[in-house]
Amino acid sequence: MNARLNVEPNLPDPDAFYELLIDSHQDLDEAQSNMLNAQLVLLLSNHIGELAVLREALAIARATVQGE
């Protein structure tokens, strides 16, 4: 399969997702919040299941963080 990362808006209600994401971190300390993020990444990576798509997502995320 030659899957590509979908970078077009794809959430029907992005504000609701953002609220859900923020709420999931409520009452967690920094270490717990980081662990939640790591577990979420691993769960969603498993759901995606395509190494090429994950590689593309990681490259885009890293470039964004580095200001490229």
pLDDT tens track for 12-24: 999 999 999 999 9
Higher pLDDT, 38 or 68: 38
pLDDT digits (tens, 9 = 90+) for 29-65: 999 999 999 999 999 999 999 999 999 999 999 999 9
DSSP state for residue 27 in the 8-state scheme = T
Residues of the domain holding 32: 14-65
CA distance 66 to 46: 26
**pLDDT score at 50:** 96
Residue 28 falls inside a structural domain:
yes
Q: How many separate domains does the chain show? A: 1
Residue 48 falls inside a structural domain:
yes
CA distance 9 to 6: 8
Residue 25 falls inside a structural domain:
yes
Picking from 7, 8, 11, the residue whose alpha carbon sits closest to that of residue 53 is 7
Backbone CA torsion sign across 51, 55, 56, 60: positive
Q: Is the pLDDT of residue 1 over 70?
A: no
Residue 19 falls inside a structural domain:
yes
**pLDDT score at 20:** 98
